[in-house]
Structure formats: C-alpha cells, structure tokens
Structure 1
Amino acid sequence: MLKKITRFLFSREKIQYDVLIVGAGPAGLSAAIRIKELDPNKSVVVIEKSGTLGGHILSGNCFQPTAMNELFPNWEKMENKPPLDTPVSEDHFHILWNEKLSFQIPHMFYPSTIRNHGNYVISLGDLCVWMGEQAQALGVDIFTSTSGARVIFDEKDRVIGVATGDMGIGKNGEKKSNYQEGIDIVANQTILCEGARGSITERVIEKYNLRKDCEPQSYGIGLKEVWEVPPEDFKAGLVQHTVGWPLCRNTYGGSFLYHKNTNQIHLGLVVGLDYENPNLSPYQEFQNLKKHPKISRYLKNGTCISYGARVLNEGGYFSIPKLTFPGGMLAGCSAGFLNVMKIKGSHNAMKSGMLAAETICAKQNVEPGQELVEYEDAVKSSWIYDELYRSRNFKGSFKYNIYSGLFYGAFDGFISKGREPWNIKSHVKESESYLTKDKAPQIKYEKPDGKLTFDLLDNLARSGTNHEHDQPAHLKVIKEAGPKESLNLYDGPEQRFCPAKVYEFIDTKEGKKLQINAQNCLHCKTCDIKMPKDYVRWTVPEAGGGPNYSGM
C-alpha cells in the first residue's frame, strides 16, 4: 500500500491522447494530417525536440511529389500552397575522376528510376513548417521543445506512451531554479517518426527484437551547405549529382548540387559510414569537393549561409525491421525507407505516415497497447515496398568499388529493372570497419581559404547549434577504456568523423585525454554509429537544444 501511495503522491503530470507521434518530420506530420482527415474526433499530438518546426530537419532535397499528390490532391490550387516552387529544369550526373577531370553521363543512359523530371528542388525544413501549419489547422497539437526521454510501458510490457525530458537539471544532477518536470504523454498508439537512428526508436527495436528477421541497418553521413549566389551563376531547377572524387574508389558516397529559387544552391556530400580509413574526415572531404570545377564554378562568387549534417539510412529493403510492436509503429526513416538508388526518401516517409494513420482509423476501437499488424501488411502492399525491392541490390553492388556499383546500376535500370532473382547484401558494422592505424593510408587536408572552404568551427556557427551548458552530458561514455583503445588502435577517428568537433584528444601531463564538447553537437548521430568499440551512446539533451536550421 505504501508503495502505491508514494507513486501517486510523486507521479508526474499525465496527458492522454488517442495517438502520439514522436517527431515532426514528413512521416509524423503526414500521419497527423491523415488521421484528422479521416477522423476529426481523434486526439493527436506530435512532439518535436527542436525549438521550432523544421529546426532539426536537414535533407537534400530533390522532392518526388507522389505522396504529396495523395495527401493533398489539389495542392497546386491551394491558396496557401506548399513550398514546392522550383521544378527540376535540368538533370545532370557526373563521374569526377580527380580534382579537375570529370565525365558527364549522357541523359539517354539515365535509368528511369533516377530521372528527376517532375520533381522539385525544395527545403524539406520549409515543407515541414508548412505541413505543421496544416496539421494545426486540423486540430493537431504540436509541442516543440519537447523531447521524448523514455518509453512508458504498462504492466504487460506494452508501449502506452512517452515520458518527456525534464528541464532545468544541472550537470551534476541537481535541480536548478528553472527546473520543470517533464510530463507523461500516454496514448492508445505511438507512432515513432524520429528519423534515422532515433534514440527512442532504437530502444524499442532492441526491446522487441524488431530486427531479428532483417539485416542490420547501414548508414551514411550527409553534410550540407546552402549558398547564396549571384544570378549569373544560378539556374533555377538545375540538379547535379556526382560520384567519385574526392572519395577513394572503395568508399561509398556522392554529392548533390541543387539550384533552388531565390538564387540559392543546396550542396551536399554523402559518405557511407562503412569506410575503412580512420584518417578520413567526411567534413574535410566535403570541403575538398567544392574545389572541383564542376562545383566551384557555381560557388566562386557566392556566400555560404548555412551548414549542417545528419546521418541517413542506406540499408534499404534488406534492413527494414518489423514495423509494429505492442502499442505502436515505426514510420519514415525510423523504419529505414530511404531509397538509396533514387537518393530520395521523403515521399516514402510521407506515404508510410499516411498508411499508419489509415490503419489506426480503420479500427473501430484501438485499445492501449494493441499491436496493429495490419500496418505492416499495408506497407508491404504499397508502392513503398515495390520501390525498395526493385532497388534492393544497388547499395550492395558498390561493395567492391564505385565502378561495380555504376555498372550494376545501369544493368538494373535498363535490363533487370529490379527483377533479378538474386540478392546482394554487403552489411559491415560501421564501428568495426576500420583499418588499424599502422595499415591506414595518411590523408593530408589543406587549410581552408575562408571563401570557398571553411574551418569546421567557423562553419559550425552557420548551423545555429546551441545547448544549455549546465545540463547532464547527453553523450554517454559507456565503456571507460573506449577512448584509449580508439586512440591506440585507430588514432582517434572520432576527432575526424564528427562534423561538429565534439570529440577532441587534448594533451595533458598524463598523455592525450578525450574532451567532449557536447555544446557543439548537431544531433547527427554519427558517433552513435561509427564510434570504435561503441563506447558512446547518444541520448537526448535538454529539449530545444541542438541546431537551428532554417531552409535546410
């Protein structure tokens, strides 16, 4: 009896909804909108750890409007139109041989699966702001600056909601003067839409062993800058992709360069995190990319206005986990619906959110903790699964080098069209893919010029990232010997793979010591994936912290 009374007296504030959605990205907002369209009486809440809608959204983005056409069939005629204002006008693909030479693949040799006619160059962050407004107009509650700290389970070990993080906790665990306790948001169904490597999603996948029948997920890191350029260096709707230099031939990756209206160029480099050389710095490779004539000709008279980074899923069809669990579902990049062949995932994310919504609304009564297995059936019957199945072998075909991948991509696009009777799997655990430092080639990176290429910390300021300094560490060192082993075996690759200079080895009287600059964190999740010996676990910091992207 005493235990029950104590729990009651000190219980947290609790609010009840029919549906809780974690993450205000394209999947989560599509789910919220679709639920309200189908059943206006259902109560729906979306929680988002960023301080503003779109504040943590980073994507290319060359947007395929398939799902948008389904969710908003008349979007082109709406008075308040979505920010899809830059249709693709040109579509180019180059192989960069070295720092000067390149080869443009003729358009007639593009497989239909990667052509961008009918797509739009957009800011996914701006689209999420617009979608958030549509959701709120339908009666959806959206709580920004609200992080999901842990999952709430009932007595039968079913998910019944999420506990949000406390605010105002000092770095030593003490309550500060601005302390504000989190709340328990309970719901009949919880849809996890956190994006790639979501912290709550990973715990749920682990608890319910949702990956037991699939390959482990694989990841890349995407680094992005937005530039403003003069009109003479700009062509609205131009889309350019490259593979090859500056990455070596056995490192998976490539670049994108998109001309978006208002004289903006969205430029990025994706590097597969299964790379071998611990001396490689994805950030420095990105800076090198800009020196190539195919890139620099557009930027040389421009100004960089934004910078950021985020991991993305690359496992595709083979890495899709079980999509349901007692009390909830996975949608969007939480499930891994990115199509690496198309270099697109937003349309799949939106569609999965819509299917989750339709599954919930098709039930007369959804009980708390109920597992809606019909959702997985719906996804498998949709164009999401068909699209991912047809491109299932694309990433695996790059396991030898980029040329094997390009050759297979052409074979797949023009001959087999995804119907080949074999599978190519190539998963390598990213944190175990390193060569030891005695076998790894050295890489020398030039100093930045401050005009085209930038020092990392100078560029980091363009991300708007900020955290409360006096709070518990959100980057948890879970293996005390990890930093020393990383330094001894691989020369500390964490000081190079992090795109925000969070990890530094500094000289002390006792030798080199790891310093974690958590306030720099971009929430990209690279360290949660690529850290040698997996000695760091990424957890959510105080809500509202992190990057403050605008137009990314």
Structure 2
Amino acid sequence: MEFDVVIVGAGPSGLSAACRLMQQANETEQELTVCVVEKGSEIGAHILSGAVIETRALDELFPDWKGMGAPLNTPVTEDQIFMLRNEEASIKVSNILVPKTMHNHGNYIVSLGNLCRWLGEQAEQLGVEIFPGFAAAEVLYNDDGSVKGIATGDMGISEAGEQKDSYIPGMELHAKYTILSEGCRGHLGKELIENFDLAAEADAQHYGVGIKELWDIAPENHKPGLVLHGSGWPLSDGASGGFFLYHTDDNQVVVGLIVDLNYSNPYTSPFDEFQSMKHHPVLKQYLEGGKRVSYGARAITKGGFNSLPRMTFPGGIVTGCNAGTLNFSKIKGTHTAMKSGTLAAEAIFEALQNGCEGGQELQSFTDKFESSWLYDELFRSRNFGPALHKFGPILGGGFNFIDQNLFCGKIPVTLHDDKEDYEQMLPASECKPIDYLKPDGELSFDKLSSVFLSNTNHEEDQPIHLKLKDETIPLNRNLPQYAEPAQRYCPAGVYEVIEEGQEKRFQINSQNCLHCKTCDIKDPAQNIRWVVPEGMGGPNYPNM
C-alpha cells in the first residue's frame, strides 16, 4: 500500500503529526494520504502515563479543544511535594523551595489513553487512515539506504514458526516519509538510531520504569485536582525516583512510582518498591478502604536535551518519547511529544508541497525544532536529570532550584551523565538482598494479580517476542554474577529462574508482557531484545 506519510504509533506524538498533516492539506486543498499503524487492539489500549498535562501543544493544534469535547475535565487545584524519610515520617516541602518547573497551576489531570482516543477521532475526521491491531515489525529500505516505509508483522504464526489456519501475511506500507512515534524504546526507532548513528553526538540515553495503578477511593478521601509528588523512602542503596498521586474525577486517583533504571543493586524490584510505598501515611490516607481497578507499567525516556539523538534520517523522522523529548524537570512528556509531532508534520508537508518525492533527510525539521519553544524548554531543563544523578535528591534538588528559579534554566554550565543505565549494576556479591513486605491484598499486591488488572493477553501459540541473543547468558552469567535481575526488574513476572531438582531453567512468560521495554533497557548483558508480538497483543488499558 502506498501513502504519502506512514506514522508508526497512535500515541500523542503520532496522532498530533497525523492531525497537523491533514489540517495543512485541507487548508491548501492538497490531496494527501496519511496512515497510522498501532499495535494495540484500539487507540489508547497501550497508552499509559501519569498524567498531568500542560495544554500548550494542544492549544496550538486545536485552539477550541474545550468546545470540541477533549477529555480534560480536572484542572489542578493544589500541588503538594513530600520527601519520605522512612516508613512513617515525611517532610512536606514548601512550594517556595520547589523548582518552578514542577508547579502545575493551569495544567490538567487526564487519562492519556482517553486523550489519544479523542485525538484519533479528530484524525479520522480529518481524513487519516488508522489501522489498530497492526504491529509495525520491520523497516523497509530503498536501494540507496533511505527508508521506504514499514512492514506489519505476519499474524497466525505458531511458536514453532509454522503457518496456522489463521495465518495472515503482513503488509508493506510504502511512504514518501515515515514518522516513528512508537513511544519509549520503540524497536524500529532503536534500529534506525543505530543504523544511521543518530546518537553519535548525544549523551547516553537514560530511562525510568513507571508503574501505575488506578483506584476508586472513598468520597471523603477524594480531593479533585490535588497533585502529590515526592521521593525518598522506600528507595535505597542508591536507587532514585519519585512517586505521584493525582486526584482525578469520579472519586478516582492514580498512584504510581517512577524508578530510575540506573540503580546498582540487582536485588532492587521496582514493583515491590511501589507496593511498599503505598503503605506510607502520605499515600495510605487516600487509598485505605479503596479498590484498585487497573494496573500498568512502561518505561520512560528521561535523558532529556543532552541525550537527544538527531531526529531526522533519510526518509523520515523519529519523534516524541521514541527520540526522548520528555521534559524531566516537569515530569511531563505529552505536550513535548505532541509538539515534536506537529513540527515533523509541518516539515514533511512543506517538503511535499515543494515537490519532494521522499527519501531525503529533512534539515527543515531540525531548523523548525531549534527555533521552537520545544527546543528552548528542553535546553533550559538540560541539567535537571544529571544534577539529581550526580548529587542526589537533596544537593541535586538544591542545584535545580538555583538553576530553574534563579537562572531560568540558563545557568552557564552543562552537566553530563554519560554512563549507560545497564552499566551501573553491581555484582550481587557486593549488594545486600532486599526483604520486601508480603502483599496484604488491600494496599499492596502480587505481580500476577496486578497483570490480570492490565487486561494483558497474547495469542498463546505465537513466537516469543522477547528474544535472547545468547540463551546461555541468563543462567551462566547473569545468575551467578547478578542473581539474574530480570526476575525483579520486570514489573509483570515475565522472567523466572525455575529449579527442577538439581537443574535450573530460565523461563520467559511472554504472555504476561506489558510492553514496558524495561528488560531491553536494564539487562546488564544487553542480551534481551524486545520486538513486537502479533498485533492486538499486550495490555488493554481502559482509562490509564
């Protein structure tokens, strides 16, 4: 199938790009064909974020979004920030001492999945073709090495590699330009960044894993618009990160923990850290007596400005969290992802209007990006993450207060953090095992019951989409050296070491996979490669 533009991923970046392309086409009465492929069973099925969003990019894309019914219903009414000292004590940080980038006045608490569903409706009304349930499995190249488009994965292939009765071959989608907006650590974006050496001049990229739950709580505990952020306990042994709890509408809250994936202790379990954290009085006061209704996890690209790759390649552009446009100083990536998508759309449409037939590298995108508020915002926040990594939450927080509040992000120094996250893991012999609390079934839960709430499902008899480059490494290297950390860093119980008498076996429960990509990032041997399973597989988040 031939299109002018093919977009991989129906997240905020890809859908914003699709909408902006068709807006320009309709304004100029130019014929344009735009296709979006989405591996989830529907738009929003794989979307998970906090989320408090700033509307700047949405205001530009759809100035009348309120009148159009965009699902932004809960404005932020109050910010509270805490440092958790131990399992009981905490310090409430005065807003005067908080970097101004973390103030949320004028922002909205939303379900990003529902916002993407709404953006998908706008895109279809504008004339975009959207194909949910089709996983982009392969990049296609022209003879000159430029990108020609993508191929969707075959469906109905057994685990043994044979065609089943339900077999449907994949499709080749050819385009003049291809936009990769797969989200964090997209496997095609990863391939293109490597193939075209797009990160040659960037610092090492950094990631966190975000784990989130949606709760129904007692009406007397509900404070619509209240936003809580914080850090500290239970994270220890050099592990860093932060929690959030947002009061949405309908007596619901979203609660979660982001754990930086540069932690060093292989016994660290982000999932269990999160379950422990909910017992702290700061969070327990809202959750106690409530009911958990959904669960999910995904990795977050948080290296920021210093870690951005070149986003253009011959034949297309990498956008949003696939490139790493999240602003860590705001703990927000939706508005930046949307803006990167609209800039890509404007550069591509301009090239098509000028008669380009595709395959070129669009310098005009880089020019638009560097003159945009997106570039300025990310540049001003370039030191935020490196400061926390280098100096810790107290001294790093002090540096960031000075940088953001006194220098407006233009302090005349740039900090760098150029060590890969997976390289920072220490041998198990140098670390203490962590004794996590047993789930109580009221505030804390086990992994399997959590995965159940994510509505995750994959066709049982299909090739495993978690590929080991060397099948001997988990037991022969990672187990003796690092106590096989995949058992703990995965928030879905995908990886297990099974003891059968005197023998041990490494088991991959791919049916549980939430598509978070943590294994692809954190494995100390870089032995696990995440690729797309059959389309429609994975989680099915209703309101996350």
AA aligned to 1:94 is F
Q: 1:529 aligns with which of 521, 531, 536?
A: 521
AA aligned to 2:434 is I
Q: CA deviation at 1:417?
A: 1.9
Aligned to 2:13: 27
Distance in structure 2 (CA, Å) of the matches to 1:410 and 1:244: 18
Q: 2:169 aligns with which of 168, 181, 187?
A: 181
Aligned to 1:459: 450
Say yes or no: does 1:542 pair with 2:534: yes
Distance in structure 1 (CA, Å) of the matches to 2:202 and 2:459: 39
Provide Cα deviations, 1:119-140, integer angstroms capped at 9, x if missing partner: 0000000000000000001110
AA aligned to 2:441 is G
Aligned to 2:379: 389
Aligned residues: 536
Aligned to 2:403: 412
Aligned to 1:266: 254
Aligned to 2:227: 239
Provide Cα deviations, 1:139-193, integer angstroms capped at 9, x if missing partner: 1000000111100101111101000000000001100001000100000000010
Aligned to 2:85: 97
Distance in structure 1 (CA, Å) of the matches to 2:445 and 2:146: 49
User: Is contact 1:83–1:122 with CA below 8 Å preserved after alignment?
Assistant: yes
Say yes or no: does 1:119 pair with 2:107: yes
Distance in structure 2 (CA, Å) of the matches to 1:414 and 1:316: 19
Distance in structure 2 (CA, Å) of the matches to 1:428 and 1:497: 19
User: Is contact 1:280–1:497 with CA below 8 Å preserved after alignment?
Assistant: yes
User: Is contact 2:204–2:417 with CA below 8 Å preserved after alignment?
Assistant: no
Provide Cα deviations, 1:245-285, integer angstroms capped at 9, x if missing partner: 11127322000100001111011100000000000100000
Q: 2:239 aligns with which of 221, 230, 251?
A: 251
Compared CA separation, residues 342 and 381, structure 1 to 2 (3 A): same
Aligned to 1:479: 470
Distance in structure 2 (CA, Å) of the matches to 1:209 and 1:523: 25
Distance in structure 2 (CA, Å) of the matches to 1:372 and 1:535: 34
User: Is contact 2:237–2:265 with CA below 8 Å preserved after alignment?
Assistant: no
Distance in structure 1 (CA, Å) of the matches to 2:336 and 2:101: 14
Say yes or no: does 1:442 pair with 2:433: yes
Does 118-127 or 504-513 show the bigger shift? 504-513
Q: Look up the SS of the partner of 1:388 in the other structure.
A: helix
User: Is contact 1:251–1:401 with CA below 8 Å preserved after alignment?
Assistant: no
Provide Cα deviations, 1:492-533, integer angstroms capped at 9, x if missing partner: 111000000000000024522210001000000000011121
Say yes or no: does 1:87 pair with 2:79: no
Say yes or no: does 1:506 pair with 2:492: no
Provide Cα deviations, 1:466-508, integer angstroms capped at 9, x if missing partner: 0011011111110233102000001111100000000000002
AA aligned to 2:505 is K
Distance in structure 2 (CA, Å) of the matches to 1:223 and 1:67: 26
AA aligned to 1:52 is E
Distance in structure 2 (CA, Å) of the matches to 1:535 and 1:316: 25
AA aligned to 1:435 is L
TM-score, length of structure 2 as denominator length: 0.97
Aligned to 1:11: none
Say yes or no: does 1:60 pair with 2:56: no
Distance in structure 2 (CA, Å) of the matches to 1:77 and 1:144: 27
Q: CA deviation at 1:435?
A: 1.4
Does 472-481 or 323-332 show the bigger shift? 472-481
Distance in structure 1 (CA, Å) of the matches to 2:80 and 2:99: 13
Q: CA deviation at 1:430?
A: 2.1
Say yes or no: does 1:307 pair with 2:295: yes
Distance in structure 1 (CA, Å) of the matches to 2:480 and 2:418: 26
Q: Look up the SS of the partner of 1:268 in the other structure.
A: strand
AA aligned to 1:541 is P
Q: Look up the SS of the partner of 2:429 in the other structure.
A: coil
Distance in structure 1 (CA, Å) of the matches to 2:136 and 2:154: 10
User: Is contact 2:138–2:188 with CA below 8 Å preserved after alignment?
Assistant: yes
Does 411-420 or 43-52 show the bigger shift? 411-420
Say yes or no: does 1:362 pair with 2:350: yes
Does 407-416 or 288-297 show the bigger shift? 407-416
Q: CA deviation at 1:360?
A: 1.4
Aligned to 1:148: 136
Question: Identity, % of aligned pairs?
Answer: 48
- What residue ranges of structure 1 are gaps of 5+ in the alignment? 1-14
Provide Cα deviations, 1:216-245, integer angstroms capped at 9, x if missing partner: 211000000000112101011100001111
Aligned to 1:286: 274
- Runs of 4+ with >6 A deviation: none
Q: 1:400 aligns with which of 382, 391, 395?
A: 391
Provide Cα deviations, 1:392-430, integer angstroms capped at 9, x if missing partner: 111111223221221112111222221112111123222
Distance in structure 2 (CA, Å) of the matches to 1:480 and 1:442: 26
Q: Look up the SS of the partner of 2:375 in the other structure.
A: helix
Say yes or no: does 1:207 pair with 2:195: yes
Say yes or no: does 1:16 pair with 2:2: yes
Does 137-146 or 364-373 show the bigger shift? 364-373
Q: 1:376 aligns with which of 354, 366, 374?
A: 366
- What residue ranges of structure 2 are gaps of 5+ in the alignment? none
- Cα RMSD after superposing both structures: 1.0
Distance in structure 1 (CA, Å) of the matches to 2:45 and 2:232: 31
Q: Look up the SS of the partner of 1:255 in the other structure.
A: strand
